[in-house]
Amino acid sequence: MPDKRTKTIRTATLARVEGEGAMRVRIEAGQVTEVALDIYEPPRFFEAFLRGRDFAEAVDITSRICGICPVAYQMSAVTAMESLCGVEVGGQLRALRRLLYCGEWIESHALHIFMLHAPDFLGYAGAVEMARDHPAIVADALKLKKAGNEVMRVVGGREVHPINLRVGGLHRVPRKAELATLVEGLERAREIALGAVTLTATLDFPDYEQDFEFVALAHPGEYPIDRGRVVSDHGLDIAPADYMTHFVESHVPWSHALHSQRTDGSTYVVGPLARFATSYDELTPLAREAAAGVGLRPPERNPFRSIVVRSVELVHAVDEALALIADYEEPDAPALEVIPRAGVGHGVSEAPRGLLYHRYEIDADGTILDAVIVPPTSQNQTAIEADLRGVVERSLDLPDAELSVRCEQTIRNYDPCISCATHFLKLDVQRV
């Protein structure tokens, strides 16, 4: 039997992520010497072909970066253009957009918690396999997901690549009666989401903590979703316009995604753990109670427990969607007029998997001259690699098959959207 330390293991596809990539972990004499998340999703060049398009087109074009979180792309794009043109969308128009965004959070979080991440903890290949032993859990998860998708359909026109957002507001505002049809499904979803917090809290979590800077949006009086300043638990507090002076993207040979770091070279994290750490007080009372009920308090530094935090955020998103519907009054006009002017605009919002930054330069006619898009998964890539290193170092005793599963689970902690970051992960563990 060959020495384990000289074995090279290749496991097949890492599944249950959005997009394609590969993973290399090299272990030499019991030491992890190399960890690389290789994103080989072919590049699609959005930033290049946005040049020459009209500023009003970015909303529909950038949504095609990601079928899982199109609203995030749409919202970051419209807010960038609006801020550039000196327009702020408020009142019920903003409330409708936030409602749409809550729909995306519900749909995306429900998908990730139950269908992509929970099977890791419970030892199933996927949700369909899990449904054989836990039919009620999967049936509930699908109801929850459907409630989010229904919000997307009614407010946005459809679930994937909604069509109703535009620079200045929306194309059409829904009638009160249309939104009322969502209430019953959302009320049921709220009960299921509360159950999800309790259920996920009882899972078996590997003992691992990280100490990276948590970066998220923040705005007084609200949980960060559609706007805010860029803040961190290390004291960062900047306007979106200053984003690029505090964060840098670099290109590494093994990946089609650009890696983001703080300008001082340090690693940071975006997503549910970061939002929970910096805006816990802004969760709805019900969401905070749910967190407290399972002993979860900020900051939560074990990335495996992100599944519980995501469940708390689900409670919040459903709760807030119901409140937005209850307070809804039909606005007089579906959109504000936005007249283009030459300049640079910045748009930030919180995709379900973390902060998404857009920067556009346009000319006086509204033609896009330059576009920069920094998706959440590129920002988390350095942290994912660091976690992999940390997790592998603590789990060297595990048999290779189990180690592979643990590595995949570590990656899924971040709900990575690799299509965004530029397709399937392949895990390649080399022990030399």
Partner 1 sequence: MSTATRRKPKLAVWKFSSCDGCQLSLLDCEDELLALAGEVEIAYFPEATSATVRGPYDLSLVEGSITTEEDCERIQKVRSASRRLVTIGACATAGGIQALRNVADVDEFVALVYAQPEHISTLATSTPISEHVAVDFELRGCPIDKHQLLEVIGAQLAGRRPQIATTSVCTECKRRGTVCVTVAHGTPCLGPVTHAGCGAICPSYNRGCYGCFGPMETPNVSALTRQMRDLDTTETVIDHLFHTFNASAEPFAGAGSRGA
Q: Whole-angstrom Cα distance, residue 347 to residue 389?
A: 33
Q: Whole-angstrom Cα distance, residue 265 to residue 247?
A: 9
- For 289-315, b/e burial (b = at least 16 CB within 10 A) is ebbeebebebebebbbbbbbbbbbbbb
Q: Which of 148/224 has CB closer to partner 1?
A: 148
Q: Whole-angstrom Cα distance, residue 419 to residue 41?
A: 7
In the complex, minimum distance from the CB of residue 419 to partner 1, in angstroms, rounded to a whole number: 5
Q: Whole-angstrom Cα distance, residue 396 to residue 91?
A: 55
| 358 DSSP β-pair partners | 347, 373
In the complex, minimum distance from the CB of residue 165 to partner 1, in angstroms, rounded to a whole number: 10
* Peptide bond between residue 340 and the one before it cis (omega within 30 degrees of 0): no
| 43 DSSP β-pair partners | none
Q: Which of 126/293 has CB closer to partner 1?
A: 126
Q: Which of 227/259 has CB closer to partner 1?
A: 259
Q: Which of 238/244 has CB closer to partner 1?
A: 244
Q: Decide the pairing of beta strands 425-431 and 21-28.
A: parallel
Cβ 349 vs Cβ 356: under 8 Å: yes
Q: Which run of H or of E encompasses 216? A: strand 213-218
Q: Which of 64/246 has CB closer to partner 1?
A: 64
In the complex, minimum distance from the CB of residue 48 to partner 1, in angstroms, rounded to a whole number: 4
Q: Whole-angstrom Cα distance, residue 98 to residue 265?
A: 34
In the complex, minimum distance from the CB of residue 431 to partner 1, in angstroms, rounded to a whole number: 22
Q: Which of 259/275 has CB closer to partner 1?
A: 259
Q: Whole-angstrom Cα distance, residue 375 to residue 46?
A: 12
Q: Which of 163/344 has CB closer to partner 1?
A: 163
Q: Whole-angstrom Cα distance, residue 411 to residue 16?
A: 10
In the complex, minimum distance from the CB of residue 263 to partner 1, in angstroms, rounded to a whole number: 16
Q: Which of 21/347 has CB closer to partner 1?
A: 21
Q: Whole-angstrom Cα distance, residue 38 to residue 42?
A: 12
Q: Which of 13/33 has CB closer to partner 1?
A: 13
In the complex, minimum distance from the CB of residue 231 to partner 1, in angstroms, rounded to a whole number: 28
- What type of residue is 268? Y
In the complex, minimum distance from the CB of residue 282 to partner 1, in angstroms, rounded to a whole number: 29
- Going by C-alpha positions, the residue among 354, 374, 209 that lies closest to residue 270 is 354
- Going by C-alpha positions, the residue among 307, 275, 273 that lies closest to residue 115 is 307
Q: Which of 125/326 has CB closer to partner 1?
A: 125
Q: Whole-angstrom Cα distance, residue 35 to residue 25?
A: 5
Cβ 336 vs Cβ 169: under 8 Å: yes
In the complex, minimum distance from the CB of residue 49 to partner 1, in angstroms, rounded to a whole number: 4
- Going by C-alpha positions, the residue among 285, 337, 43 that lies closest to residue 169 is 337
Q: Count other C-beta atoms under 10 Å from residue 238's C-beta.
A: 14
Rg (CA), the chain: 21
Residues that bind partner 1 (CB under 8 A): 12-20, 41-49, 51, 53-54, 57, 60-61, 64-68, 70, 111, 115, 119, 125-129, 131, 135, 138-139, 142-143, 145-146, 149, 157-161, 163-164, 166, 171-172, 250-254, 256, 258, 334, 408, 417, 419, 423-424
Q: Decide the pairing of beta strands 165-166 and 169-170.
A: antiparallel
In the complex, minimum distance from the CB of residue 66 to partner 1, in angstroms, rounded to a whole number: 5
In the complex, minimum distance from the CB of residue 398 to partner 1, in angstroms, rounded to a whole number: 17
Q: Which of 67/299 has CB closer to partner 1?
A: 67
In the complex, minimum distance from the CB of residue 242 to partner 1, in angstroms, rounded to a whole number: 21
